[in-house]
Chain A
Amino acid sequence: MSELIKVTINEQDFEVEKGARLIDVCREKGFNIPSFCYYSDLALQASCRMCLVRIEKMPKLQTSCTITCTDGMIVTTQSEEIEKAQRAMSEFLLANHPLDCPVCDRGGECELQEMIFDWGDVEERFTEKKNVEPEKFLSPIVANDPQRCIVCKRCTRVCDEWMGEDAIEAGNRGVNTVIGTYGGWLNCSQCGNCIEVCPTGTLLDGVYRHETRPWELDQTITTDVYGSDGMQLSIGSRGGLVHRIVARDRYVNGLNGEFLDVKARFAHEFVNHPDRIKTPLIRYKKGGKLIPATWDEAIHFVGQKLTESGKNVGVVASPRLTNEAIFTLKRFAKEVVGTDNYAVSDRYDLSVFFDNLSAPLATHKEIRKAKTLVLIGGEPEEEQTFTAKQMRQAVRNDGAKLIIVNHTPIRLSAQASQFIHINPNSYDAFVLALTDSANDDANAKKLGIETKDLADFRQTLSETEGDTVVMFGGDLSPQAQSVLANSADAFDGTNAKVLFHPLPLYNNSVGANDLMEGKKSLSEVLKNSKALLIGGSLQEADTNLLANKDFIVVQELFETETTKYADVVLPAASFAEVDGTFTNNTGFVQRVRQAIEPVNQSKADWMITTLIAREMGADFGYNFSATMVFKAIADSVSAYEGLRYPALKDESKPVQVKHAISAKKDLSKEFDVLKSNVEKLSDEANKLTATPRVGHKLHRLTTLTSKTAQFHLLAHGNPKPENLLVSPLVQFNLDGTPRTETADAAAVGVTDRINLKVEY
């Protein structure tokens, strides 16, 4: 608790913390101060001049967003003088703002609208003609109406500070200031955070464009289904259709405030996509067609076939499913089949991390406040976007030290205080070097770095005064991960706390790892079993192992590579249609809430598994309620002990599961593997020097993202290269080669959007 000082606001005395921002203090104490450009945790702007207050002994009205409270300050927030200034300000804002609220998508949740309702005059005194500028698309998913802009520059600051991309900037000066982009299109990862923070309808969601109005939508707070950060978001649905996804209100502040990434925000079209599997499908003969069937028929058929297979049934859960679904699949394997053949179809196994975990998991807040961040492998900007944002802000706003160890110069390395550019596949050598300082020369040679780099790295760690967060993920070999996770003491600095942060790839990778305790590897399960129950499709590379099985049941949303091998496909419900929980990469268990009724005939994954189990004579006692499934999880998994849905109700206070912290283990076996791996490394490796394209993983077309038309534009380049842009940074010619010349800046107009045809 820092020092308290006395501030008088509107003749009332308050004690506030020293260094507090005046606008925050006034709002906290219940004095309404209007503002557009002020946004907590962003650089100060003071351009809207709505937050004016009178401070005694200061000559003019002051902008409260730039004033830090001082002792004995006497502030007036409401007076005739202030109101006159504010009303004049809002009149100027409207001088050029078109009154097209009925058409504008922001209408109804527009901060300018609300402000003018309080501070605007009924009559407009400006009779001059307003500037008219054509509406345009800055990218396939960001629509721009320049005339509505009030130049608060929130979008430019967010783009700079949160994303570090500087794709959107203010141009010109004074009254001619416009928000623009370089070359007329957005060179960025298309996160859409500029849309979220825009107080007016200047930047708008191109996917949700003109679909409905905000007050017509039912808002359901739920969790992101793409990233492992577990970002809290709000689904806007109407009449069984998911129309849009926005972040939570920044004043309520879930985990991520108003931050979302491109997939979380825009890739929701799959929920109501016509390609969804509508009814259960049965393939009666191998090589035949999948034929629609009723639920009763399909469940009966599945029960009969799985009973015939006896103990040779394997169970595979996707890390995309809810905790409830994964747990039910495990119970099915354990209790109904009576086998240990169950696995998670993740891209890499997290259990090596959690089995050897020697320090607690870092939450996103701790990452933001950390003093030293160590990132070994991985690319959070493309895969764990919110973690990347927290890292960047920690570096930019709080001066944290970021050390990046990577084989590619990822974009985040621009922010790093030390970037250790190692040879490809030499992470094992780095882990060895970390635990053993005796062989620095040899290890540095294998890594392709100077010995001094390792010494600098150690020095930064030892000088850290505050938390150190160590992040690593699937780029490292399992042995390297277990050694790293077990060596918290290697990162110890002076009075520092060491925290670990895994970099899982799916929304529920961590939950799947927690609940599938005692799981086997996927290939083992696929080889050992004759029949399979698969919840959620496998990675495409794994599907060849599905050939020549007796019987395969798949619970899926869409027809995928996996369903080609399936004998029965059961339509599962997507995340917007079920109740449940996801566990994110910081161990927070967060609710997934049902926004719409399951589309077509689909059912929640856990319910399908329960139905099959019931057909085979086992009763899980769920009474078809997700609450009961979660209760069963809490009762049988120690990390989730005592949790109930009501305890997870408040998104701003997420509950962290208790991952066991293991003591220092004897990992000589792992070390031996590492050493032999390192010996095999050649000293003459070529380093990768090209920074990967922005969005090279974010914009990839997957089963789910490919259902949003705009992602095809983002991923495949431009259908009309002359003036439409698509993928950030790179434009494509029609023959697929990248384009080099710059596009005509203002060419993306209304007429071009008509020609925007999406090819599937």
Chain B
Amino acid sequence: MSILSDVFKSTKAVILGMKRTLSEIPREKWTVQYPDVPVTVQPRYRGQHLLHVDENGKEKCVACYLCAAACPSECIYIEAQDDPRPYEERVGRDERYAKVYNIDYGRCIFCGFCVEACPKDAITHGYNFEISVYNRADLLKTKDDLLITKQKQSKNYRVALSTEDVDSEYKEVDSVGIKFRL
């Protein structure tokens, strides 16, 4: 092979590549400018878990361990505690509550079985998805991280309206935050 044919071949490759690139420029842009702009998540998105409380702020969880039993990756650890005080003074809604409720996000696979198993609707998936940490030990989230009253919600997501179609990629939507033109 001569040098000429090499030059010819590579030039052709560059031209082909650039043709693709240049043809994309005038087209519609799909990139979400995260984190400057919030990401839209589906209403049933499975993010970091939330432990719920009732209307008086009492924890709904009764530490029945069903979530831990359902969990395929065994990432939930619970310690139950008896709480015989009257309702007003209790931590939880019932006379039994979770003294310790840990989820190890190093293991969690966000399958949602725990949510389905919960008989008290005490645990659901929230939308927080930014769980990465610098230290692996920090992946273990305790009750203080999970309680809905204590968990800090990220500003970087926006839950789609139920009427919104966030699934199909090639649709024209005029609401803010889904598509951005340059």
Report A's interface with B, CB cutoff 8 A. 100-103, 107, 135, 209-213, 215-216, 750-751, 753-754
Contacts and interface: CB of A to CB of B under 8 A. Distances in A.
Given A102-B120, A210-B81, A215 B69 contact: yes
B95 A213 contact: no
Contacts, number: 45
B119 A101 contact: yes
Interface string B52-64: 0000000000111
B138 interface: no
Which of A103, A135, A754 has most B Cβ within 10 Å? A103
Nearest to B77: A239
Given A102-B119, A215-B69, A754 B85 contact: yes
A103 B65 contact: no
A103 B96 contact: yes
B66 to A, nearest CB: 7
A212 B65 CA distance: 8
What secondary structure prevails in chain A residues at the interface with B? loop
Interface in B93-142: 94-96, 119-120
A107 B64 contact: yes
Contacts of A103: 62, 64, 94-96
A216 B96 contact: no
B68 to A, nearest CB: 7
B80 A210 contact: yes
Nearest to A100: B94
A417 B68 CA distance: 56
Nearest to A209: B82
Nearest to B119: A102
Given A101-B119, A103-B62, A107-B64, A210 B96 contact: yes
A750 B95 contact: yes
Given A101-B119, A103-B96, A213 B82 contact: no
B65 A754 contact: no
B65 A213 contact: yes
A210 B64 CA distance: 9
Given A102-B119, A103-B96, A750-B95, A212 B80 contact: yes
Contacts of A210: 63, 80-83, 95-96
B26 interface: no
Contact of A102 (B66, B68, B82, B85): B66
A419 to B, nearest CB: 44
Interface string B30-72: 0000000000000000000000000000000011111011000
Which of B63, B84, B95 has most A Cβ within 10 Å? B84
B79 interface: yes
B116 to A, nearest CB: 14
Contacts of B65: 212-213, 215-216
Given A102-B64, A103-B94, 9 more contacts: A103-B62, A103-B64, A103-B96, A135-B95, A211-B80, A212-B65, A213-B69, A753-B84, A754-B84
A212 B64 CA distance: 8
Contacts of A135: 95
Contact count band on B: 20 to 34
A751 B80 CA distance: 21
A216 B86 CA distance: 28
Contacts of B96: 103, 210
Contacts of A211: 80-82
23 contacts: A101-B64, A101-B119, A102-B64, A103-B64, A103-B96, A107-B64, A210-B81, A210-B82, A210-B95, A210-B96, A211-B80, A212-B79, A213-B65, A213-B69, A213-B80, A215-B65, A215-B69, A216-B65, A216-B68, A750-B84, A750-B86, A751-B86, A754-B86
Given A215-B69, A216-B68, A102 B62 contact: yes
Contacts of B62: 102-103
Please name the 4 residue pairs, one residue from A and one from B, whose CB atoms are nearest each other, closest first: A102-B64, A210-B82, A210-B96, A213-B65
Nearest to B89: A754
Contacts of B80: 210-213
A213 B68 CA distance: 11
Nearest to A105: B96
A313 B95 CA distance: 56
Nearest to B120: A102
Contacts of A754: 84-86
A213 B129 CA distance: 31
Contacts of B85: 754
Contacts of B94: 100, 103
A505 B81 CA distance: 36
Interface string B12-24: 0000000000000
A101 B66 CA distance: 11
Contacts of B119: 101-102
A168 B85 CA distance: 27
A624 to B, nearest CB: 32
A215 B84 CA distance: 24
Contacts of B68: 216
Nearest to B97: A210
A491 to B, nearest CB: 52
A443 to B, nearest CB: 58
A537 B162 CA distance: 72
Given A101-B119, A102-B120, A750-B95, A213 B84 contact: no
Contacts of B83: 210
Contacts of A101: 64, 119
B96 to A, nearest CB: 4
A363 B79 CA distance: 42
Nearest to B96: A210
A295 to B, nearest CB: 30
A350 B65 CA distance: 49
